[in-house]
Structure 1
Amino acid sequence: MTVTPGCLVTVCRDCCCGSTRKHPAVDHDAQLRRLRAALPAPHRVRVSACLDLCAQSNLVVVHPAPSARRAGARPVWFGLVLHDSVVDDITDWVRAGGPGVAPLPATLELSVVAPTLPTGG
């Protein structure tokens, strides 16, 4: 039996995201455990080094499932993910299908941030 891949959720954990110096009231490890527990296969949760949007920490990026990506869906970046309620809203949306499949709830629209653009030359 083949499992259709789900969304990929990238959680920034580096200089600012996940920092108790910057966000001492947030249990960053518990936040990551909460995401992983709420998003078992076919979804995946991974941790990333700095995503270069430190002013918006904690960052979470939801990447569409491969089929939605092929249909034109793009990753959605969320900033200031500091409360369990936002984590819960993200996991509910991902379980409903995420980018390109389920409409983005109004409560999550408030957390959407513009991604960083690669600099290169």
Structure 2
Amino acid sequence: MTVCRDCCCGDEGKHPAVDHDGQVRRLREALPAPHRVRVSTCLDLCAQSNVVVVHPTRAARRAGSRPVWFGLVLGDEVVDDIAGWVRLGGPGVTPLPALLELSVVTPGRAVPDRSTGSGP
């Protein structure tokens, strides 16, 4: 999982009611090893901040699954829902819950999938 924390995502001025560091802590506590929660610089989807990208497992990726991008991740409920879905398997393993579908966004440009070190 990649959590954007750069110019807009994680900005207390833009989202003063959000505990941005607390979101990262909450995800890391909810998703211990073998899961990884990484913090990234700008993912270029600033209008949808805060952005979280859930990467499929290697097996799911080999089967054709792609990362799922979430935008406007501003509340504990959506953070918990994303973590729960990841614990169940995430992209390509467990269907996306209808409530989380409301938070799915599409990247505005081709962004390399850094989970494998290769491009799209």
Q: Does TM, normalized by the shorter one, top 0.5?
A: yes
CA shift digits 1:84-110 (9 cap, x unpaired): 000000000000000000000001000
Shift of residue 34, structure 1, vs aligned partner? 0.1
Q: Between Structure 1 and Structure 2, which shows a larger proportion of strand residues? A: 1
Instruction: Show the counterpart of 2:56.
Output: 64
Instruction: Show the counterpart of 2:3.
Output: 11
Shift of residue 41, structure 1, vs aligned partner? 0.8
Instruction: Show the counterpart of 1:50.
Output: 42
Instruction: Show the counterpart of 2:22.
Output: 30
Higher relative contact order (CA 8 A, sep 6+): 1
Larger radius of gyration: 1
Instruction: Provide the secondary structure at the position in 2 that maps to 1:15.
Output: coil
Q: Which consecutive unaligned segments of at least 5 residues does structure 1 have?
A: 1-8
After TM superposition, where is structure 1 displaced by more than 4 Å over at least 4 residues in a row? none
Instruction: Show the counterpart of 1:108.
Output: 100
CA RMSD of aligned residues (A): 1.0
Shift of residue 118, structure 1, vs aligned partner? 3.2
Take 1:96 and 1:88, find their aligned partners in 2: how far apart are those partners?
12
Matched, 1:39 2:43: no
Instruction: Show the counterpart of 1:3.
Output: none
Residue of 86, 95, 98 corresponding to 1:94? 86
Shift of residue 111, structure 1, vs aligned partner? 0.1
Q: Which consecutive unaligned segments of at least 5 residues does structure 2 have?
A: 112-120
Take 1:59 and 1:25, find their aligned partners in 2: how far apart are those partners?
16
